[in-house]
């Protein structure tokens, strides 16, 4: 029973950490210069820095399945 509760705590801990990461990315992006290059990099950072949190939160499944599906998402984002 403790193992199940520990796994649930880890899940929410990771989800919270991913949200905090997205917030930090957004704060960094806000400091970039308003130039063509700055806007381009800002757009890329916002897209890649905020994507993991919602992708993680939609998977309420066992860890092994999560890893497989996350690899599929990762491969798809590289195409």
Q: In angstroms, what CA-CA distances link 40 with 2, 8, 19, 44, 47?
A: 47, 38, 22, 6, 11
* pLDDT at 21 (0 to 100): 92
| pLDDT digit string, tens, across residues 10-44 | 656 888 888 899 999 999 999 999 999 999 999 99
Contact 45, 28 (CB under 8 A): yes
**Does 76 have pLDDT greater than 60?**
no
* pLDDT at 54 (0 to 100): 79
| pLDDT digit string, tens, across residues 47-70 | 999 888 877 766 655 565 666 656
């Amino acid at each position: 029973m403790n193992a199940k509760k520990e796994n649930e705590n880890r899940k929410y801990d990771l989800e919270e950490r991913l949200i905090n990461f997205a917030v930090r990315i957004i704060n960094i992006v806000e400091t970039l210069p308003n130039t063509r290059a700055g806007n381009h990099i800002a757009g890329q950072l916002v897209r890649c820095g905020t994507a993991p949190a919602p992708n993680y939160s939609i998977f309420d499944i066992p860890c092994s399945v999560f890893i497989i599906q996350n690899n599929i998402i990762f491969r798809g984002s590289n195409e």
